[in-house]
């Protein structure tokens, strides 16, 4: 199974349409096994709205449903709401969980770190794709990202369909490899370079 959680907060405004297109493409490829949610300041299940075969129409349907797009962000609170719903949490059990987010948590990072750790325990693998990680200069040095790095199986850069395809090609190695290896591949100091 595939569970995709898409950050629609204001800091991702320029990337949100492309990130939703990535989720739409994944849903079209495996409709019976894919669930998609958005989060900003609230959590919204968009699987049905995103299921339209034409991407533009699907994005229009999602836009009508998602009321917190281009606003604030509460990543930890949104992920905790997801996990607090037993029906939603069951969707993560044994799934490949992909979070599309820049990880820029505005408040206390502890809820985000706790929720990420629990998602990691529930899922088969937990992958975090960030538009920021497309930059060679990116390092996961914010308090939230550096603290949650040990829970991630992979941290990669995705900002559009082309970069998503690059990351999809890496998934077989992520799915068959050791768990929680993202911290080994991403230094948390500016002087290092990803291995």
pLDDT means per 10 residues, the chain with 195 residues, are 96 95 96 96 96 96 93 91 97 98 91 97 98 96 94 97 96 95 77 44
- What per-residue string of b and e applies to 20-45 under the rule 16 or more CB within 10 Å gives b? bbbbbebbbeeeeebbbbbbbbebbb
pLDDT of the residue at 186: 85
pLDDT of the residue at 73: 85
Tell whether domain 2-185 is in CATH 3.40.50.410.
yes
pLDDT of the residue at 191: 44
Task: Please state the three-class secondary structure of the chain as a single string.
Answer: CEEEEEECCHHHCCCHHHHHHHHHHHHHHCHHHEEEEEECCCEEECHHHHCCCCHHHHHHHHHHHCCCCCCCCCHHHHHHHHHHCHHHHHHHCCCEEEEECCCCCCCCCHHHHHHHHHHHHHCCEEEEEEHHHHCCCCCCCCHHHHHHHHHCCEEEECCCHHHHHHHHHHHHHHHHCCCCCHHHHCCCCCCCCCC
Contacts of 48 (CB under 8 A, 6+ apart): none
pLDDT of the residue at 193: 44
pLDDT of the residue at 192: 44
């Amino acid at each position: 199974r595939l569970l995709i959680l898409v950050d629609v907060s204001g800091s991702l405004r320029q990337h949100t349409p492309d990130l939703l297109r990535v989720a739409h493409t994944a849903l079209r490829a495996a409709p019976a096994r894919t669930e998609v949610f958005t989060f900003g300041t609230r959590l919204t299940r968009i699987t049905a709205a995103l299921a339209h075969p034409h991407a533009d129409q699907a994005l229009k349907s999602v836009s009508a449903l998602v009321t917190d797009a281009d606003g604030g962000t509460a990543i930890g609170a949104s992920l905790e709401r997801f996990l607090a719903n037993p029906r939603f949490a069951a969707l993560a059990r044994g799934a490949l969980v992909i979070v599309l987010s820049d990880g820029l948590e505005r408040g206390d990072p502890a809820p985000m770190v706790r929720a990420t750790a629990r998602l990691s325990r529930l899922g088969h693998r937990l992958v975090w794709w960030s538009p920021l990680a497309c930059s060679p200069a990116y390092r996961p040095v914010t308090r939230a990202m550096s603290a949650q790095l040990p829970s991630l199986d992979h941290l990669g850069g995705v900002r559009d369909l082309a970069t998503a395809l690059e990351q999809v090609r890496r998934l077989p190695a992520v799915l068959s490899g050791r768990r929680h290896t993202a911290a080994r591949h991403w230094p948390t100091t500016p002087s290092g370079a990803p291995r």
